[in-house]
Amino acid sequence: MKLAWNKTRFMKSALWPEEYPKISHHSSQIAICGRSNVGKSSLINELCANNSLAKTSKTPGKTQLLNFFEIDEKLVFVDLPGYGFAKVPERVQKDWGKIITNFLENAPQLALILFLLDIRRTPNKEDLEFLHWLNHYQIPFILVLTKADKVTKNELAACQKEILSQLPYEGFEVLVHSSKTHQGTIDLRKMIEAYATT
Ligand code: GTP
Ligand code: MG
């Protein structure tokens, strides 16, 4: 499905299924997940060429609810709360696993997950746990290696190789991305369009 990527709107914030916005049967849902500060909200803004759509912050733990965004009336992005940040309110931290598994189990139109890892960091225990969930739920995902502008071209291949060597699964798509230089944005849009139904 071809998208124009220019008609975007914030739909709703929610924590639990009964609070999720109603999503048209014609829309596909794509969730963005990864550790706190990895660049999830920035990626949504970058894909939609709209820097005021999702709130971003230098301080980790900015997105603490599920935030739903509608794109071209056909696609819904869900910005999931990041994990791995100790300063989020205790209630959110305690319930994080439940909030995410509830979402994964109650999102019938979920077509794809964008799973983000910082290209400079080796995946930690929480990243691997999350990946294990995705495998458990059999949800297709694209691994997006973020903040590619922070490494040199020479370092890039080595960083990518190191990250992939740490992951227990293979056979998924990998995309190197930078929200600062726009590297990978056009390719990622095309990959998303291929997953989204008509
Ligand atoms: P939480 O909402 O806390 O889970 O974080 P998040 O994953 O949504 O991260 P966010 O998009 O808010 O970005 C965190 C910080 O990283 C911000 O200061 C962004 O400007 C910065 N950032 C995001 N993407 C990139 C990138 O590609 N390159 C660089 N250099 N900085 C980035
Ligand atoms: Mg965020």
The C-alpha atoms of residue 72 and residue 4 are separated, in whole angstroms, by 7
Reference 135, options 176, 185, 169; nearest CA is 169
Check residue 56 and give its pLDDT: 86
**Cα(180) to centroid of ligand 1, in Å?**
10
Q: Please give the share of the chain, as a percent, with pLDDT higher than 70.
A: 93
Residue 109 token pair:
């139109």
Residue 41 token pair:
């909200």
Query: Per the confidence metrics, is the pTM higher than 0.75?
Result: yes
Is the domain spanning 8-195 CATH 3.40.50.300? The answer is yes
pLDDT digits (tens, 9 = 90+) for 61-79: 666 789 999 999 999 999 9
pLDDT digits (tens, 9 = 90+) for 84-95: 776 666 666 678
Report the nearest-CA residue for atom 14 of ligand 1: 37
Check residue 193 and give its pLDDT: 95
User: Environment class of residue 192 by beta-carbon count within 10 Å: exposed (0-12), middle (13-18) or buried (19+)?
Assistant: buried
For a substitution probing ligand 1, which of 36, 57, 80 has the most ligand atoms within 8 Å of its CB?
57
pLDDT digits (tens, 9 = 90+) for 127-172: 999 999 899 989 999 999 999 999 999 999 999 999 999 999 888 9
**Cα(27) to centroid of ligand 2, in Å?**
23
What does the mean pLDDT of the chain come to? Answer: 91
